[in-house]
Amino acid sequence: MIRHKKRGWLIVIVVILIISIIIDVKIKSSALQLARSKAQLSETAAINRIVNERVVNEIEYRELVTIHKDDHGRIVMIQPNTIMLNKIMTETIIEVANEASQIREDSISIPVGQLLGPAFIAGYGPKIKIKIIPAGEIKVNVLNKFDQAGVNQTRHLIYFKIDSNIKIAVPYLDETIKVSTVIPLAETIIVGEVPKTYLNFSGNKDSLYPLMLQE
């Protein structure tokens, strides 16, 4: 009889442990998933603010490219101003890296109820602290694209694509994610035929200038 009771208690303990492990894994997995979204939004907003305030605030289209025309005034080639592009890319990397070094580590707290699923318990339960840490690598690429803007008119947009890495961590789990941010630099409307070619340096039809790396 005593053996049966001991075996019964052992089964109960094992079941409780298994359920606890399942809940723990579910909570941490949900926490990482939610943290990804929050971290990406936070990082994108921060990079947008930094770059727009400190780097591209007063940049004009004609500073970034040189337009070549033929004898009839038609645009035949759009050539990037590599000196200016290199300058603003370097400034962007420095400003974003400086901001990241000052932040060092951020954190958000999420109630356990929000991670379990049902909406009626979303705001309840103990909070899990999630750390958000800049991971140090920043990549900048200058891209451009042409869009139809009206009859015989084309919009030429030049923009940054900034990739940065951040690390998110919950107890005993962590993950490094890449955040991509697109920031317009300058644009113009081209009246008439769009040039068949423009000078690019990387082989990608959208790339206007090679990427730079900062580690």
| Predicted local confidence at residue 189, as pLDDT | 85
Could you tell me whether strands 65-69 and 127-150 are parallel, antiparallel, or unpaired per DSSP bridges? unpaired
The Cα 145–Cα 158 span in angstroms is 7
How high is the pLDDT of residue 24? 64
Query: DSSP for 174-208?
Result: EEEEEEEEEEEEEEEEEESPPPS----SSS-TTEE
Instruction: Tell whether the model's pLDDT for residue 46 goes beyond 80.
Output: yes
Question: What number is the average pLDDT over the span 102-122?
Answer: 61
Residue 40 parent element (H or E): helix 2-54
List pLDDT tens digits, range 125-149: 666 777 777 776 788 888 888 888 7
Considering just the CA atoms, what is the radius of gyration of the chain in Å?
26
pLDDT at 105: 61
**Residue that is written with structure tokens 């890449």 in the block:** 178
The answer on pLDDT for 21 being more than 60 is: yes
- Cα(12)–Cα(165) distance, integer angstroms: 44
Instruction: Please tell me the least confidently modeled range out of 73-82, 107-116, 187-196.
Output: 107-116
Map out the domains of the chain as residue ranges. Answer: 2-214
Beta strands in the chain, from DSSP E residues, in sequence order = 65-69, 75-80, 106-111, 127-150, 153-170, 173-191, 207-214
pTM value is 0.66
How confident is the model at residue 212, as a pLDDT? 33
